[in-house]
């Protein structure tokens, strides 16, 4: 890590950064695969499970599936716009809708009528309704004689034009996604709903029963579910494609599907890039997560109000920390490396180009993370200020020349988030910014680099963070709108403390980003495309692309497994098992179910299925995905993977890796007998 820190100092002097993505294809096995709906695993499913994936079935499931903001997955489960996702996916909205008098995370929520359903400012969902392979259009003006940088600019301009042209024509949100590491480009059209309201959520103590100790473990007992509703023109949306609700449960060995938006996998990485992940990326990430978890926990323990204010941040850090540890442990497992090539790539081959780039990336990754990704300035106030500065600057440029996130196809969504009136707490902001400025000082305190002119060297990190937060008005939505309406002049001459900080950092951050895009992303895209072409020539689309937070389908079966010590784990848990686990833990947090469950125990059928495991191939981003049977009915709700699934980022093995879901039966049982929410239970699947 000292090598990274030393190099970070030097790159801030030269504003040079190199990062990397690279590819290597592993063979498909067992129930492996996060498959495109356009190229579904029809043959594989038919051969193994004797089930026919028809175009009608696929279209229905596709248009019933939802991308829930940028957090996870969801699905429509009624004709009146009812949306099902995980409690932890919707937790940010529960946090934002809470008050000191009513903590919705702690108390839960149920709207007895449509009128009581709570609007969620800034929340939007995306429903995939169209897709098209636009590889030829993206590459139409790219020639072999072009440099990688020139080719990147040509492709980016083509992508921006395609997105705008199609959006204008269809009135959909259109996004071009890179697949197969540059081998394919796919244009997706999404219908947007931005009037989303909270309908029901259980208490967090049952949604996340077992807390951090049970995270990624099994057996599990979580009602990790929440329900929202999409509205159009002030009324519940009328939905054509929604999932029916199964009343028959599922059997051991039964075929099931997960339809959702897995975020990112690295299964096509070269050996050298996996080494980079093992030696650089995860150690650096864990270093940040460990320090934040300690600081956030200490703040949380000071009072119940502090606990409420920091809950979303702390929960996220704890979840990411445990996931990163599991992924790093997977990379440290010798068996992973035995099947990977160990020979040196041929000179000037795509693999050789990747390897050479990685030599730079090993020591330079931290610079990009800290400056362009803003880890030195971790706070909502900084993120808002940077968005304001870049929004007014980028929208002055032609669409094709803008940063990706500020192109026309993304502006509406960006403004929806930017102008959402959600609570931001000054004490939490000061806490987070103090920590990140402390990290900055730890790395750069003795460095005489000109970069440090952005800091007030007469103030401690806490004093400087306090000054920056308290003297910034960008947390006020009216001020954000005023600055955007005033354009570049209003921003440039703003006396706002955080705006001024962003303006000072911006030159260096943009320099780092430009170098990344020109020196790394461009040549790597070219190398990926070359490798992908070889792969297509040999395998065609019989292999699936890495996850890219686009809609995918995975197939699998309800199936238990054996622990390393030989213990056989049954695939399904029950309500009785939850109460038994709570009793054995003496009802101590996080094994203390809420009062509503303890008081309502006698009403419940204790044999009701609670959670279940399946062999479906999932990753982060799949949270909130429906678990579906062959009839297209909901039988569960994916919310986690077990500990053995943490290496799914790099490789899938069916032996022990499992997707963990909330069973559909416990959702209905809870709605009817604990929350008296019969109006919602009756609506499911109708």
Residue range 91-108, pLDDT digits in tens: 999 999 999 999 999 999
CA 97 – CA 93 distance, rounded (Å): 6
pLDDT tens digit sequence for 404-431: 999 998 999 999 999 999 999 999 999 9
pLDDT tens digit sequence for 587-596: 999 999 999 9
CA 43 – CA 544 distance, rounded (Å): 13
- pLDDT beyond 50 at 15: no
Among candidate residues 27, 34, 486, 48, the one with its CA nearest the CA of residue 264? 34
More confident residue, 215 or 79: 79
- pLDDT beyond 90 at 442: no
Residues counted in the chain: 686
Pairing relationship of beta strands 65-68 and 109-110 according to DSSP bridges: unpaired
Q: CA-based angle 297:300:301, to the nearest 5?
A: 90
Three-state secondary-structure class, residue 455? coil
- Average pLDDT score over the chain: 91
- pLDDT beyond 80 at 565: yes
CA 579 – CA 599 distance, rounded (Å): 12
Among candidate residues 38, 7, 17, 12, the one with its CA nearest the CA of residue 541? 38
Q: At 12, list the tokens.
A: 């801030």
- pLDDT beyond 60 at 536: yes
CA 220 – CA 529 distance, rounded (Å): 42
pLDDT tens digit sequence for 152-184: 899 999 999 999 999 999 999 999 999 987 889
pLDDT tens digit sequence for 234-274: 999 999 999 999 999 999 999 999 999 999 998 888 888 88
Across 297-304, average pLDDT: 96
Three-state secondary-structure class, residue 498? helix
pLDDT of residue 645: 93
Q: CA-based angle 374:435:299, to the nearest 5?
A: 125
pLDDT tens digit sequence for 475-532: 999 999 999 999 999 999 999 999 999 999 998 899 888 887 777 777 777 777 787 7
Across 31-36, average pLDDT: 96
Q: At 148, list the tokens.
A: 């990688």
Among candidate residues 610, 395, 405, the one with its CA nearest the CA of residue 483? 395
Residue 134's pLDDT band, with cuts at 50, 70 and 90, is: very high
- pLDDT beyond 60 at 21: no
- pTM, two decimal places: 0.90
Q: What is the CA radius of gyration of the chain?
A: 25
Pairing relationship of beta strands 82-85 and 226-232 according to DSSP bridges: antiparallel
CA 90 – CA 453 distance, rounded (Å): 40
Q: At 344, list the tokens.
A: 């040196």
Q: How many CA atoms lie within 13 A of 645 on its CB side?
A: 23
CA 674 – CA 87 distance, rounded (Å): 17
What CATH architecture applies to the domain 35-124+194-266+546-683?
Beta Barrel (2.40)
- Residue 141 φ/ψ, nearest 5 degrees: -105, 10
Region at 179 (left for phi over 0; alpha for psi -120 to 50; beta for the rest): beta
- Per-residue exposure over 212-233, b if at least 16 CB sit within 10 Å of its own CB, e if not: eebbbebbbbbbbbbbbbbbee
CA 90 – CA 547 distance, rounded (Å): 22
Q: How many CA atoms lie within 13 A of 420 on its CB side?
A: 24
pLDDT of residue 77: 98
CA 580 – CA 596 distance, rounded (Å): 17
- Give yes or no for a contact between 229 and 83, defined as CB atoms under 8 angstroms apart: yes
- pLDDT beyond 70 at 332: yes
- Give yes or no for a contact between 576 and 666, defined as CB atoms under 8 angstroms apart: no
CA 385 – CA 377 distance, rounded (Å): 11
- Give yes or no for a contact between 402 and 395, defined as CB atoms under 8 angstroms apart: yes
What DSSP string describes 551-614? -EEEEEEB--EE-TTSPEEPSEEEHHHHHHHHHHTTT-TTS---HHHHHTGGGS-TTSEEEEEE
- Per-residue exposure over 592-631, b if at least 16 CB sit within 10 Å of its own CB, e if not: bbbebbeebeeebeeebbbbbbbbbbbbbbbbbbbbbbbe
pLDDT of residue 17: 28
CA 308 – CA 316 distance, rounded (Å): 14
Q: At 100, list the tokens.
A: 């000191």
Instruction: Report how far apart, in Å, the C-alpha atoms of 189 and of each of 123, 168, 486, 525 are.
Output: 19, 11, 32, 24
Q: What percentage of residues in the chain have a pLDDT greater than 90?
A: 74
More confident residue, 23 or 251: 251
Residue 401's pLDDT band, with cuts at 50, 70 and 90, is: very high
Q: How many CA atoms lie within 13 A of 618 on its CB side?
A: 33
Q: At 469, list the tokens.
A: 């937060």
- Residue 162 φ/ψ, nearest 5 degrees: -60, -45
- pLDDT beyond 60 at 562: yes
Among candidate residues 134, 23, 159, 157, the one with its CA nearest the CA of residue 526? 23
Sequence-separated contacts (24+) of 373-376 with Cβ below 8 Å: 375/288, 375/436, 375/439, 376/436, 376/437, 376/439, 376/440
- Per-residue exposure over 119-133, b if at least 16 CB sit within 10 Å of its own CB, e if not: ebbbbbbbbbeebbe
- pLDDT beyond 70 at 446: no
Residue 2's pLDDT band, with cuts at 50, 70 and 90, is: very low
């Amino acid at each position: 890590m000292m090598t990274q820190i030393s190099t970070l100092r030097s790159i801030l002097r030269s504003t040079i950064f190199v990062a990397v993505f690279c590819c290597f294809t592993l063979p498909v096995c067992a129930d492996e695969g996060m498959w495109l709906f356009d190229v579904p695993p029809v043959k594989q499913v038919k051969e193994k499970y004797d089930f026919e994936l028809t175009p009608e079935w696929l279209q229905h499931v596709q248009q019933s599936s939802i991308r829930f903001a940028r957090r996870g997955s969801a699905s429509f489960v009624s004709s009146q716009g009812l949306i099902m996702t995980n409690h932890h996916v919707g937790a940010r909205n529960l946090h934002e809708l809470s008050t000191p008098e009513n903590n919705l995370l702690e108390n839960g929520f149920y709207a007895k009528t449509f009128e009581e359903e709570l609007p969620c400012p800034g929340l939007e969902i995306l429903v995939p309704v169209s897709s098209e392979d636009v590889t030829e259009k993206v590459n139409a003006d790219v020639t072999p004689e072009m440099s990688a940088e020139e080719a990147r600019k040509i492709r980016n301009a083509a992508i921006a034009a395609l997105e705008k042209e199609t959006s204008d024509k269809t009135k959909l949100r259109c996004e071009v996604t890179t697949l197969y590491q540059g081998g394919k480009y796919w244009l997706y059209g999404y219908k947007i709903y931005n009037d989303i309201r909270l309908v029901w959520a259980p208490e967090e103590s049952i949604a996340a029963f077992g807390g951090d100790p049970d995270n990624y473990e099994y057996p599990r007992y979580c009602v990790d579910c929440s329900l929202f509703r999409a509205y159009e023109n002030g009324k519940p949306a009328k939905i054509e494609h929604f999932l029916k609700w199964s009343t028959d449960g599922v059997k051991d060995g039964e075929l099931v599907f997960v339809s959702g938006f897995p975020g990112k996998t690295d299964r096509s990485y070269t050996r050298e890039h996996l080494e980079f992940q093992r030696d650089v990326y995860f150690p650096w990430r864990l270093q940040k997560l460990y320090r934040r978890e300690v600081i956030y926990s200490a703040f949380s323990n000071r009072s119940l109000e502090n606990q409420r204010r920091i809950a979303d941040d702390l929960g996220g850090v704890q979840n990411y920390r445990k996931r990163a540890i599991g992924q790093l442990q997977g990379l440290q497992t010798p068996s992973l490396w035995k099947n990977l090539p160990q020979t040196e790539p041929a000179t000037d081959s795509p693999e050789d180009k990747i390897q050479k780039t990685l030599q730079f990336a090993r020591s330079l990754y931290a610079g990009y993370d800290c400056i362009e990704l803003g880890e030195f300035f971790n706070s909502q106030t900084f993120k808002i200020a940077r968005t304001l500065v870049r929004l007014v600057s980028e929208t002055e440029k032609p669409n094709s020349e803008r940063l990706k996130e500020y192109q026309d196809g993304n502006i509406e969504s960006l403004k929806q988030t930017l102008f959402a009136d959600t609570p931001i707490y000054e004490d939490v902001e000061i806490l987070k910014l103090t920590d990140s400025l402390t990290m900055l000082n730890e790395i750069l305190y003795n460095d005489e680099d000109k970069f440090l002119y952005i800091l007030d060297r007469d103030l401690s990190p806490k004093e400087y963070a306090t000054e920056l937060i308290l003297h910034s008005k960008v947390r006020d939505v009216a001020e954000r709108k005023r600055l955007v309406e005033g354009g570049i002049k209003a921003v440039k001459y703003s006396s706002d403390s955080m705006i001024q900080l962003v303006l000072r950092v911006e030159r260096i951050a943009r320099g780092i980003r430009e170098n990344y895009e020109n020196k790394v992303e461009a040549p790597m895209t070219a190398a990926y495309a070359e490798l992908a072409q070889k792969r297509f020539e040999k395998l065609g689309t019989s292999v699936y692309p890495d996850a890219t937070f686009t809609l995918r389908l995975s197939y699998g079966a309800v199936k238990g497994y054996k622990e390393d010590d030989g213990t056989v784990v049954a695939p399904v848990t029950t309500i009785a098992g939850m109460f038994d686990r709570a009793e054995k833990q003496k009802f101590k947090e996080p094994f203390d179910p809420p009062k509503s469950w303890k008081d309502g125990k006698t009403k419940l059928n204790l044999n009701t299925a609670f959670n279940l495991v399946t062999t479906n191939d999932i990753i982060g981003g799949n949270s909130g995905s429906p678990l579906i049977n062959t009839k297209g009915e909901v039988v569960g709700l994916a919310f986690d993977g077990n500990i053995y699934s943490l290496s799914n980022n790099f490789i899938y093995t069916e032996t022990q890796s499992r997707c963990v879901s909330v069973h559909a039966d416990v959702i209905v049982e809870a709605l009817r007998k604990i929350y008296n929410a019969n109006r919602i239970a009756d609506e499911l699947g109708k």
